[in-house]
């Protein structure tokens, strides 16, 4: 049995829950963390929410889980961060940490001597992920994004880690799970560098915090904790079985300008179909984007304004 779970100055003995604001390394930046040290033996699960500060359903889900889970019903331990990016949350800054204008999800495994985003990533890697047996990074549609609920699994990890991650993904009540070939995200870094089965889950859209999304998210997270025998909880049935997407296309803006999207999240698209276009301020078309293959739209930018290099549409081949 884990007699004491320690994260920085937070300490929880077996059967205890502790919550507090933790300073990130040598900075004044604080992160709200809940540690739940179960009454019985078991694995450790890490859940991070709000890496992007305006993805609200996942943050509320994490807050409610942290408040409601009883350590007496836990075997093992649960570490919950809610949210990771407090600066972005308070400032309503989509995707980035305002102090350094970086996306935390793009700087893992981090740097203890780097900017604040890199220090946050370093802290998560070395203080949290290092203690975990399983890792779930929960997300949702940012202020400018619409999406269909889906999951990413680490496609570049060791085959056994990837297989375990896929097995876990199939327990979620989402329509699709997607092979990810990135290597510098939080969950991919955990899977590749630490050999920890990990997933990134997407649910919610457009910076809205809808009760239905939070309820669905909580159901998913409670179910997966039950599947892992970490929480004494009666698993509920899902409405759908997720389909695998092994090939996905991510379109980024080639220009700064005005974006019009012709497709919606969850819709099917055909090869050659026009997905959207960017115009200048006079309505002159700068760039037009077409589908390279038949697939389904995973997410799309709903904002009218876009910057060069920003995300526009993601779609996958089923």
Q: Taking 70 as the threshold, does the pLDDT of residue 244 lie above it? A: yes
Per-residue pLDDT reduced to its tens digit, 1-46: 568 999 999 999 999 999 999 999 999 999 999 999 999 999 999 9
Question: For residues 205 and 202, what is the distance between their CA atoms, to the nearest angstrom?
Answer: 9
Residue 305 exposed, middle or buried by CB count within 10 Å (0-12, 13-18, 19+): exposed
For residues 206-226, give the mean pLDDT: 97
Q: Is 90 helix (H, G, I), strand (E, B) or coil?
A: helix
The residue assigned the tokens 């979620």 is 172
36-74 pLDDT, tens digit each: 999 999 999 999 999 999 999 999 999 999 999 999 999
Strand ranges (DSSP E) for the chain? 4-7, 10-13, 16-23, 30-37, 40-49, 75-81, 134-139, 145-147, 150-154, 176-180, 198-202, 243-245, 247-252, 257-261, 268-269, 274-279, 285-290, 295-301, 305-306, 311-317
Q: Of 146, 150, 145, 139, whose CA–CA distance to 55 is shortest? A: 139
CATH number of 4-243: 3.40.630.10
Distance (Å, whole) CA 56 – CA 209: 5
pLDDT in the model for residue 272: 98
Mean of pLDDT values over 218-228? 97
CATH 3.40.630.10 domain extents, the chain: 4-243
pLDDT for 3 equals 83
pLDDT, one tens digit per residue, over 141-162 is: 999 999 999 999 999 999 999 9
Task: Give me the pLDDT at residue 177, please.
Answer: 97
Classify residue 80 as left (phi > 0), alpha (psi -120 to 50) or beta: beta
Please give the pLDDT value at position 2: 62
Extract the tokens encoding 188. 């991919």
Which residue's structure tokens are 């998560």?
124
- Provide the pLDDT for residue 237: 87
pLDDT tier, 212 (very low <50, low <70, confident <90, very high otherwise): very high
Within 10 angstroms of residue 179's Cβ, the number of other Cβ atoms is 17
How would you classify residue 123: left for phi > 0, otherwise alpha for psi between -120 and 50, otherwise beta?
alpha
Ranges of CATH 2.40.50.100 domains, the chain = 247-317
**Pairing of the two strands 274-279 and 285-290:** antiparallel
| CATH code for the structural domain at 247-317 | 2.40.50.100
More confident residue, 65 or 240: 65
Across the chain, mean pLDDT equals: 96
Lowest mean pLDDT among 1-5, 95-99, 229-233, 247-251: 1-5
pLDDT > 90 fraction of the chain, expressed in percent and rounded: 96
């Amino acid at each position: 049995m884990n007699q004491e779970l320690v994260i920085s100055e937070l300490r929880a003995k077996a059967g205890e829950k502790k919550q507090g604001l933790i300073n990130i390394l040598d900075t004044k930046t604080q992160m709200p963390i809940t540690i739940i040290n179960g009454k019985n033996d078991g694995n450790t699960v890490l859940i991070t929410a709000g890496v992007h500060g305006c993805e609200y359903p996942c943050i509320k889900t994490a807050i409610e889980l942290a408040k409601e889970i009883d350590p007496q019903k836990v075997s093992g331990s649960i570490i919950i961060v809610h949210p990771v990016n407090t600066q972005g949350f308070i400032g309503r800054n989509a995707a980035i940490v305002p102090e350094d204008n970086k996306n935390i999800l793009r700087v893992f495994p981090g740097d203890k001597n780097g900017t604040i985003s890199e220090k946050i990533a370093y802290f998560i890697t070395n203080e949290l992920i290092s203690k975990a047996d399983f890792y779930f990074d929960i997300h949702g549609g940012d202020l400018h994004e619409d999406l269909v609920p889906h999951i990413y699994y680490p496609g570049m990890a060791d085959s056994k880690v990837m297989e375990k991650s896929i097995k876990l993904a199939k327990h979620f009540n989402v329509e699709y799970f997607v092979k990810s070939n990135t290597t510098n995200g939080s969950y991919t870094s955990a899977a590749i560098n630490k050999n920890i089965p990990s997933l990134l889950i997407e649910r919610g859209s457009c910076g809205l915090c809808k009760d239905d999304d939070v309820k669905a998210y909580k159901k998913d997270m409670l179910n997966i904790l039950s599947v892992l025998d970490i929480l004494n909880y009666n698993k509920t049935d899902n409405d759908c079985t997720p389909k695998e997407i092994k090939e996905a296309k991510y379109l980024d803006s080639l220009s700064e300008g005005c974006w019009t999207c012709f497709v919606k999240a969850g819709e099917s698209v055909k090869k050659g179909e026009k997905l959207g276009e960017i115009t200048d301020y006079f309505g002159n078309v700068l760039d037009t984007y077409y589908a390279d293959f038949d697939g389904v739209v995973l997410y799309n930018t709903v904002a009218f304004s876009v910057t060069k290099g920003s995300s526009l549409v993601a779609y996958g081949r089923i």
